[in-house]
Structure 1
């Protein structure tokens, strides 16, 4: 059987699954367990993406120190491959980590084999000295890592990344922007290897679908972290949208309880990350324009998608000037003209953001 959904139903499923409804989650761990991953990005035109994603869910009860504490003290959250993840996800990740790199990744396997002494040097040094940053570890590689990108000859960083993907090292925290690396068994709890790789991947697909609510079987590509859901969940069609989707059954049951709110989203928010999905379900056109020349930008350097109820309605072009103590609003781009109630709700949310950041808001009427 194929379910038939309206676009509004599909949007509400997506929003509720991302915890962007009126019923807010209570803390960092609850958000991570619902979303499965939270993006880490250093761009902080407003604030770091992880803090923004957590603030947009939890609201005023969230403080940035809570995330740091969850990672470095409570060990309820960990960092891997550019995302924060709940520690409860570790049992589903370990099977593929222990088999990494996969056989078809020959370059990675050959480089690790050629630099096995380098690998052991790093593990022994961290084991003896304790947690270290990449700049505190000497490069004893025999074969440099070759790449046409920024990783070329960055041998220490590459080996640390590889050892984390293999579950031999883990990120214990950060000193400023520098990651601090430690032996995995000093960061991660002991976990029984109770899943095969195939079993774990199936369960991860179910978790991804639960966090998205509705998704294509194969969605937008993203380095390292897949967002494909395969054939888990229920098959569905969305009115006016070609093709089929997969829907989380629990999200369907919660549809009647949907109660929306207004939110300013990070450009890296999972609700809008898949630009094709955002266009299909929300009719929302969006890209991050910080890499474009200023004259070619339509919405601004780091415009924030604006959510109102069950619709994405525009973009906020704003920047935090912490030296001046100001959140400067350059423009609010309305995809369709706002009515008075919507305009007031968006202004209120912008002022709330400025107050939470400790900044005076400039640029609103």
Structure 2
């Protein structure tokens, strides 16, 4: 790429991305361009978390939970206990990114600004309760790691939701979000808390980053994981950061640490290695069945801008207003999103239900052919032994015979 000079400053020209280049760049950066882009086993999972900077945790369990699903999409021999192994090895830790997440332990110091702000009085969800917090800390100091269920309720009324948590559970979460406690494991889906000083690995950097360091960390982490970004995307769900991120990006641009790229009429920031990333290959026949909370799709506006795929998770939509289903999963074929699939695993019967397979490609037969093995692998990941396809819909006119044929093809494991 040619360089231009303004005095002693090197100016890189704008890199104009085509739609195909943009989607390729995003998928290569996400490790979704080929199988096992980060390697296999526990080491592959560790590499994926480091590169992506976070894996979102979510409690919805109609299929395997989102954090397991996101990692399985990138590490094909993934097992759910790999996360627990990495926590036990002190390679990753649980905290808050834009949402609850698993984070690489080397990024621990970048969790400190939020922890210190909350400890200083900034509200996360609940008001502080010094008496309950003192009681909780004393028990954990004396007894070791504990769960919320290890603390008795202060009355006999059963809680009806997160707003009705008992004081000790609220205290545990408050101390966790302030940084006094860390999660050492999950039993089932319940957090087990211990003192931070007993959890952190020896030699970990606990210096609080400056504002500029923190902003640069967010910028570089996001662009590394997504290929290119604007300030709004980098500051996603981080209140009050957009203007600062914009200012820091401009400074990095002037120092040639970033370059600007365009996609249509939008301008983004990218790292200088963009041409190297675009040289990487994409497996055009690879089908990825993604979680609604996957790093690649969690920002719906970006998903539409880069891939032209308008997506909404409908579990929060009233049943009468759902178009595709309660938990519809994006279907990625090569570099294109070509449909969505509403799924559920019945854990008693081990039947994997496809409530609705909605196809958004003209190449229906070709896609169904490559979708079959992807669904088979996904069913195994969800511990299913049988499959039932309830409905197939399409942007194209299928007809009853065509729909029946697709159902028959997919129900052969």
Alpha-carbon deviation of 1:304?
0.6
**Aligned-residue offset at 1:295:** 3.0
Task: Classify 1:185/1:268 alpha carbon distance in 2 versus 1 (closer, same or farther; 3 Å).
Answer: same
Cα distance change, pair 337–3 in 1 and its aligned pair in 2 (3 A): same
CA contact (8 A) 1:284 1:312 kept: yes
- Aligned to 1:99, what secondary structure does the other structure show? helix
Deviations 1:315-337 (A, max 9, x none): 01221112112112222211233
Supply the distance in 2 between the matched residues of 1:132 and 1:103 (Cα, whole angstroms): 25
**Aligned partner of 1:246 among 246, 249, 269:** 269
User: Is contact 2:91-2:104 (8 Å) kept?
Assistant: yes
User: Which residue in the other structure is 1:77 paired with?
Assistant: 92
SS in 2 for 1:361: strand
Task: Give the Cα–Cα distance (whole angstroms) in 2 for the partners of residues 111 and 238 of structure 1.
Answer: 44
Deviations 1:291-342 (Å, cap 9, x if unpaired)?
A: 2233321111101100111111110122111211211222221123334322
Distance 1:351 1:119, change over 3 A: same
> Which residue is equivalent to 1:63?
79
| Aligned ranges 1:155-170 → 2 under 5 Å | 155-170=167-182
Q: Is the 8 A contact 1:101 1:109 kept in 2?
A: no
Aligned residue runs from structure 1 range 263-278, under 5 A: 263-278=288-303
Counterpart in 2 of 1:176? 188
Alignment partner of 1:21 out of 20, 23, 33:
33
Among candidates 308, 320, 327, match of residue 283 of structure 1: 308
Task: Find the counterpart in structure 2 of residue 352 from structure 1.
Answer: 377
Structure-2 residue corresponding to 1:144: none
Distance 1:157 1:196, change over 3 A: same
SS state at 2:170 partner: helix
Structure 1 distance, partners of 2:191, 2:309, is 35
- Correspondent of 1:204 among 215, 218, 221: 218
Greater mean alpha carbon deviation, residues 195-204 or residues 319-328: 195-204
Say whether the 8 Å CA contact 1:37–1:86 is kept in structure 2: yes
CA distance in 2, matches of 1:225, 1:186: 31
Q: What is residue 142 of structure 2 aligned with on the other side?
A: 128
Greater mean alpha carbon deviation, residues 258-267 or residues 331-340: 331-340
Indicate conservation of the 8 Å contact 2:126/2:174, yes or no.
no
> Secondary structure of the residue that 1:30 maps to in structure 2?
helix
What is the distance in 2 between the residues matched to 1:225 and 1:77?
A: 25
Equivalent residues of 2:126, 2:170 under 8 A apart: no
Counterpart selection for 2:118 from 85, 89, 101? 101
1:235 and 2:260 equivalent?
yes
1:13 deviates by 1.2
Cα 1:58–1:225 shift into 2, 3 Å: farther
Could you say which residue in structure 2 is the equivalent of 1:32?
Answer: 49
CA RMSD, Structure 1 to Structure 2 (Å) = 2.8
CA contact (8 A) 2:63 2:345 kept: yes
SS of residue in 2 equivalent to 1:215: coil
Distance 2:383 2:52 in 1: 27
The answer for the alignment partner of 2:229 in structure 1 is 215
Q: Indicate conservation of the 8 Å contact 2:345/2:353, yes or no.
A: yes
Q: Check the 8 A contact 1:314/1:335 in 2, yes or no.
A: yes
- CA contact under 8 A between 1:219 and 1:227: conserved in structure 2? no
- What is the aligned partner in structure 1 of residue 104 from structure 2? 86
In structure 1, the partner of 2:402 is none
Which stretches in structure 2 are left out of the alignment for 5+ residues? 1-12, 155-160, 253-257, 390-406, 409-413
Distance 2:319 2:21 in 1: 37
From 14, 18, 21, the equivalent of 1:9 is 21
C-alpha change, 1:247 and 1:104, in structure 2 (3 Å) is farther
- Structure 1 CA distance for aligned equivalents of residues 22 and 182 of structure 2: 38
Contact 1:208 1:227 (C-alpha < 8 Å) held by counterparts: no
More divergent stretch after superposition (339-348 vs 177-186): 339-348
